[in-house]
Structure 1
Amino acid sequence: MSVDCIVFIRISKVYDYVDYRVPELKAMYEKRMQGYKSMDYKVQGNDEENSSGQQMKLF
């Protein structure tokens, strides 16, 4: 007897932005990060990489 197994993998990408220069926005971002972690989301990259308050160059 053979058993077929189907595995579904769900990948979600969340792009979240923050302006560290505004204390209220920084606090809201930190709360969102706690929520992401509680849902077992994994963070790629490092918050410190983009914490300079500078806008990232896309192109």
Structure 2
Amino acid sequence: KWMELGGAGIFRKEVVEPFGIDMPVLAWGFGFERLAMLKWGITDIRELYISDMDLLKKNRVI
């Protein structure tokens, strides 16, 4: 089974125009969230962004 760990893309023009940027803007990142999902057995990435104190206490980062 494949899992995306790194993502990249170009920001849409309407996103960067309000900042006075008139050129393509690249973005990329490493998917640390995906590694956390594997470590903690989470199947829905949205669970990492909720305010569930029990989940946070159970799954210590350090």
TM norm structure 2: 0.25
CA radius of gyration, larger in: 1
TM norm structure 1: 0.26
Q: Which has the higher strand share?
A: 2
Q: Which has the higher helix share?
A: 2
